[in-house]
Structure 1
């Protein structure tokens, strides 16, 4: 991939605004991270919405705007995310506005983005700044996919064409298949594959998006107990083979020890039993030898 490249995530992710006096408090009670620390325009963080059993609904990004919270989720999870928030909105002053159809999102991969925006070199991870570009007011947020730094550009959909043309002066627009290959090569989880109600945030290696010092949230007791007593049974890993692999069970000595949740060509992402990681790095997918790599 080029040193500067970008992907149009407009139809891959969804964008939902939460408005009202109780928006921060409500989301704080529904997700793993300490949303209450978001107090100023320009701040952001990732958090996990969890069920009462501590299972994953989705990993979402939250940005503190002047008049609302902007939530970024997978397009396939937005209905569940919205319904979950609505279910727990009882007396709270919270209103949802789905702005997915009116906005765009582009992800930039570059080590030198600040050559374009030098005045924002001090931006912290997850925080964002607003910039006038090509006659449009856009939001640029610092982000990362595991260890790979990236930047998300968000704005009004009517401005997307001009922004893409501007970015094309610096690098290449990649296709969704290339983005999926990159995601798998980074071991980065995705809704519907690694991020489902079959798994919990600790298994998915999302501990950086969990606060163990905040107040109660849905699923907190389960997540806290798993962490405190080291009861996490599975772990997200990367896998590779000398042959093409697919989604399905993986075995060791004839016993099922995990499941491949994402695959493209010879590489994939899987959940495996943690005990196996102490015994071997070689497992089987059907008749194929598969190598386990930590994320």
Structure 2
């Protein structure tokens, strides 16, 4: 199992570790409830070394990515980025990725593609299948770089006070559009800062070389940022209704079902899966939709974290994909896919697993805590 370059720091902070797609990452530290409260009221940071990263280069990078994914990427310029969905011929999801264009010189393009944790091999295999005559090359740099994500109130001030950039057009990082980035230095170490919104909270991904991660983490910690583990990160993700690879993002579902229509272009022309998605949209043929659930009547720990079946009366109407305990609601909440007919705010359903049935209420994400 892989370890983050920050592993020893996490040990010193009292981390309890878990397996996150083959990476030993902090599940939580001393008190996950305090981590959650801090994330809601102040600034926090999380080690996300397990996020996949590919470097792409060649003359056809943008054209290639535009032809194999859902968003319109043709207007990207160096310093800008976009989230897009890799879909197969049936419009089903391979991954949701963030493409950041680094430079364009004499027709040569270079970009970094940030992937979901756990999706690297799937995406590489997909690229190997599709790159035939395109002038596109890639390398896996997942292990070479670390992402330290910073979120919450005051995050902008903490980063800005330490971030140095010699760029005459540089503006306040809080005014950067989502998914855009800027390159600069923190204590002399090169850092990419990418603006993100991964659980409906102001955030930045600080991307640095693995050998620089410890110094940058310690500096942020000295500025009062609390470290949070992946357990709390997952709770915040579910509360925001954000789909996750291997759960909501699989080849069983398409991006329209996953509420990712904002990353889908219906006007840019052909791409893999485009005909299927356009037909679903044009003829209003959406079969299911990603929704949330508040599980009402369960005391103690649930026996499942996904794959429970959702019923309305005796009709099977959906499937649960993620379950967490929300410290805000003080109840278990979940994400899952429901038939569109039942994807209605306040709809009462039953969730069944292992012969037990639990009362639940449908929520259209995000949850309001």
Q: TM-score, normalised by structure 2?
A: 0.77
Number of the residue aligned with 2:284 = 230
Task: Supply the distance in 2 between the matched residues of 1:231 and 1:112 (Cα, whole angstroms).
Answer: 43
Indicate the RMSD between aligned Cα atoms, in angstroms. Answer: 1.5
Report the Cα offset of residue 279 of structure 1: 9.1
Number of the residue aligned with 2:335 = 269
Indicate the larger mover: 163-172 or 199-208: 163-172
Q: Which runs of 5+ in 2 are unaligned?
A: 1-35, 104-108, 162-171, 326-331
Please show how residues 1-295 of structure 1 align to structure 2 within 5 Å: 1=36, 2=38, 3-11=42-50, 13-39=51-77, 41-66=78-103, 68-116=110-158, 117=160, 119-145=172-198, 147-168=200-221, 169-242=223-296, 243=298, 244-245=301-302, 246=304, 247=306, 248-265=308-325, 266-278=332-344, 281-286=347-352, 287-295=357-365
Describe the SS at the equivalent of 2:175: coil
Report the Cα offset of residue 271 of structure 1: 0.6
Give the greater-gyration-radius structure (CA). 2
Describe the SS at the equivalent of 1:258: strand
Q: Is the 8 A contact 2:155 2:203 kept in 1?
A: no
Report the Cα offset of residue 113 of structure 1: 2.7
Q: Is the 8 A contact 2:344 2:364 kept in 1?
A: no
Query: What are the superposed Cα offsets for residues 195-215 of structure 1, whole Å, 9 maximum, x if unpaired?
Result: 000000000000011111112
Task: Supply the distance in 2 between the matched residues of 1:207 and 1:186 (Cα, whole angstroms).
Answer: 16
Greater relative CO (CA pairs within 8 A, separation 6+): 1
Query: What are the superposed Cα offsets for residues 175-212 of structure 1, whole Å, 9 maximum, x if unpaired?
Result: 11121122122211100000000000000000011111
Describe the SS at the equivalent of 2:49: coil
Q: Tell me the matched-pair count.
A: 293
Task: Supply the distance in 2 between the matched residues of 1:203 and 1:109 (Cα, whole angstroms).
Answer: 27
Q: TM-score, normalised by structure 1?
A: 0.95
Q: Is the 8 A contact 2:344 2:363 kept in 1?
A: no
Q: Which runs of 5+ in 1 are unaligned?
A: none
